[in-house]
Amino acid sequence: MLVVVAILIIAGLATFFVLYLGSGSIFVTSNNQFIPAGEPTEFTATVTPPPFVSTTGVQWDFGDGNKQSSTGDKIGHTYANPGNYFVQSTASLSNGKTVDNSRGLFPVQVGAAPVTNPNPLGTSTSLGALSFNKTQSSTDAPFIGVGGHIAFVGAVAQPPDFEFDNNVDPVANSWVNYTWQVTKLTINFGDGSTLVTNNSRVDDATTNALVADPYMISHTYNSGGIFSASLTVTTGNFSASQTNSTPAKPVLTATGQTQTTIVGLTVAVGSYKEITYSGNVIKPGIITNMEAVTGGYTTLDPALDYESTGFEVISNIYETLIAYDGTSTESFVPVVSDVIPTVANGRVSPDFMNYTFHIRPGLKFSNGDAVTAWDVKYSVSRTMLFNSGSPFPPGWIVSQFFVPGTFIAGLTTPPGCDLSATGCSLDAAQTFSVVDGAISVNNATQEVTFHLITPAPPLLFYQVVADPLGTAIVDHLWLEATGPKLIWNPAGFVDYEKYSALQNYVPAWRNGAVGSGPFMIDYVANPDSVVLKPNPGFQVLPGVPAATVSKVVLQYVADASTRELSLESGQADIAGIPSAHFDVAKRLSGQGLIKIQFNPTLNMFWWNFNLEIYQSTIGPNPNPYGNEVPPNFFVDMNMRKAFAYAFNYGQYYDQILGNKKFNATFGLPFNGIIPKGMIGYQDLSSLNVFDLSLARTYYNQTAWVRDHGWATSGFKISINVETADIVNRAAASAWAQNI
């Protein structure tokens, strides 16, 4: 605003004395709107004062309870805790005025601190997720007026998974089992009010297992300002004695053996707003995907990972020789290979036992190393060598084309054992001969040839080669620089196999990745999150576009309501909403807050019958879940049939999954192991039906009934499902009622 306070005319010369009382404007930017906790960042205040007015200083409020002054326009700050914050900057001017960005606060998303080498026994801490119910809060929350309220929701993002079993007396078979559990959630509203705490409840009186339910509480702010609300999650170390498989209730080991984590959230009370960009976007270039995941990924090593959480990361970082062409399951596009091999082009032998791929020239890994034919051989050879690892590697998928029998292990073949017999292993010389001979490389022409032991049609072989789990191409130079080198001889192959066991995972391979795909690792904080950034050296290919965002934050949150509220409030751009909560998605869509898009995906869900129920992949605890049935309970075919006929398939699809309930298609029934559209599919829809009478008939024919009688009081058996998967939890509960 320009105000002219005096005009004097002297000797015909007009002189203007002008006093500038305006305050100008200020705009805050940063070198990054997403940063990990503990990493410094820099903010810049671009001040535009009125003419002839200068800036004398800048006051900063970082939204996390910390304030600081600067004489220049830049300042550094390190956020100690993850969360969603807003930064206010106030500039003091030489005319005595101030100018601030209260109508355009700068948003900062702080992720969990990087975890470079997680504890192999699991995590003892538990990061929280602090959000709010936008519908039940004052308008425009977290920007509210004085006297407004915020309906906070604090939840556990990932429960601790630490477990250590100590054999204190081998003769007496006595153990002490240590676990960490969440004991309480505490919310600090940031305005000096009394902290509120929600203690965990005992979920299972037998095991003394604790559950920390989401904590929902509304708070009214009676004064204006920038406040830093926070959620503290406290975990405690519990121990239990166990003798001869009889577990005791765990108790807190000792006073003080607790740990805490904190997440924050800025609440602005008064005349505040956040800065927005085109299309009301708050954080352009940053995508936060809050996923329904319990426990994070197993590993980011494509030779070992065999689960969906790791697969998502692997498939965006690594490339394969060929890839599926869009949604087709029968056509493919060349990726690392520059051509699809066929019999016609001479790259597939007429007997379908040799497939040759030519490596696309100029491809680079994200670290600048060239992609070579040797990388292909090295990567797939690792997968075959790791086939006998733990917990569940994918090696069998590709190994079936090259390896006689079932397993590759560093064990001597038993005398008289037929190499092709189920259960036979290969000795060192055979292991080396089979694995090394499966793939040949021509370094001069940059070609790699797969030599199959039996003919396989191209469609079947290509469906396997296009799978990132097992056939993704890893930079072998990076592998050797960050872990043990694969020595190319029999002894070296057998020695290398040991790194496939969970307790021997190489940290750099488990939590790092160097591929040639569109993204690369920014950092990992497993089990809480993985952050991806574009691979600057990625070569755009038909069907494989480049990244269009600067960051992708994959945040793993087990609680469904927290994911939904975060999506509603804008803390998440994408969220995993279970089909059972589709009414929530429709409500948010009706409010114009989200878009619902149905895309077909090739996912299969089934229940496995464990033939060795008490056998654990790690740890000595013979009965970790308190099952009341023998280990061979499901060896009895009649028992498996009884359980199968007791599952209500119609109820699952129509009501639990929600096809009929919501008039939508969330899944399609199929039987067998190969879904429709894949080679080998058979229509087996008539096999599995819900028939309690038939289930009872088979149950009465089991060895269990023979030994215990049919009129028993029942038995306890655990069905393991992810905490985040409320649909499968409901299905398991319904199944239990029928049984």
Three-state SS letters, 592-653: CCCCCCCCCCCCCCCCCCCCCCCCCCCCCCCCCCCCCCCCCHHHCHHHHHHHHHCCCHHHHH
Non-local CB neighbours of 10 within 8 Å, separated by 6+ positions: none
Tell me the pLDDT of the chain averaged across its residues.
87
pLDDT at residue 17, rounded to an integer: 35
The verdict on 471 and 524 lying in the same domain is: yes
Which of 41-45, 282-286, 384-388 shows the lowest per-residue confidence on average (mean pLDDT)?
A: 282-286
The verdict on 481 and 413 lying in the same domain is: yes
For residue 720, pLDDT beyond 70: yes
Q: Is 657 part of a structural domain of the chain?
A: yes
The average pLDDT across 411-428 equals 54
For residue 21, pLDDT beyond 60: no
d(CA 463, CA 330): 8
The verdict on 445 and 543 lying in the same domain is: yes
Element (H, E) at 566: helix 560-569
Range of the domain at 181: 128-286
Q: Is 13 part of a structural domain of the chain?
A: yes
Report how many domains make up the chain. Answer: 4
Are 84 and 34 in contact by the 8 Å Cβ rule? The answer is: no
The verdict on 84 and 175 lying in the same domain is: no
d(CA 300, CA 290): 19
Q: Is 166 part of a structural domain of the chain?
A: yes
Q: Is 41 part of a structural domain of the chain?
A: yes
Band of residue 410 on the pLDDT scale cut at 50, 70, 90: very low
Q: Is 628 part of a structural domain of the chain?
A: no
The average pLDDT across 322-341 equals 93
- Higher pLDDT pick, 482 / 626: 482
The verdict on 159 and 228 lying in the same domain is: yes
d(CA 406, CA 387): 9
What dihedral angle (degrees, nearest 10) is formed by the CA atoms of 274, 279, 281, 286? -160
d(CA 336, CA 339): 9
- Higher pLDDT pick, 713 / 610: 610
The verdict on 88 and 157 lying in the same domain is: no
pLDDT at residue 123, rounded to an integer: 86
Q: What is the DSSP string of 469-527?
A: HHH----HHHHHHHS----SSHHHHHHHGGGGSGGG--HHHHH----SSSEEEEEEETT
For 676-714, write each residue's pLDDT tens digit.
777 788 888 777 789 999 999 999 999 888 888 766 667
For residue 389, pLDDT beyond 80: yes
The verdict on 66 and 139 lying in the same domain is: no
The verdict on 384 and 274 lying in the same domain is: no
266 burial type by CB count under 10 A (0-12 exposed, 13-18 middle, 19+ buried): buried
pLDDT at residue 11, rounded to an integer: 35
Query: Helix (H, G, I), strand (E, B), or coil: what is residue 397?
Result: helix
Which residues on neighbouring strands pair with residue 356, listed in sequence order? 449
CATH code at position 147? 2.60.40.10
The verdict on 328 and 460 lying in the same domain is: yes
For residue 198, pLDDT beyond 60: yes
Out of 538, 556, 574, pick the residue that ends a domain: 556
Q: Is 617 part of a structural domain of the chain?
A: no
Non-local CB neighbours of 413 within 8 Å, separated by 6+ positions: 419, 424, 425, 426, 427, 430
DSSP structure class, residue 388? G
Band of residue 631 on the pLDDT scale cut at 50, 70, 90: confident
The verdict on 140 and 210 lying in the same domain is: yes
Q: What percent of the chain lies above the pLDDT cut of 70?
A: 88
The verdict on 147 and 96 lying in the same domain is: no
Q: Is 572 part of a structural domain of the chain?
A: no
Q: What angle is formed at CA 235 by the lines to CA 232 and CA 237, rounded to 5 degrees?
A: 160
Which residues on neighbouring strands pair with residue 178, listed in sequence order? 164, 239
For residue 510, pLDDT beyond 90: yes
Out of 499, 524, 556, pick the residue that ends a domain: 556
Only one residue has tokens 């490596």, namely 359
Q: Is 216 part of a structural domain of the chain?
A: yes
For residue 625, pLDDT beyond 70: no
The verdict on 212 and 338 lying in the same domain is: no
Read off the pTM: 0.86
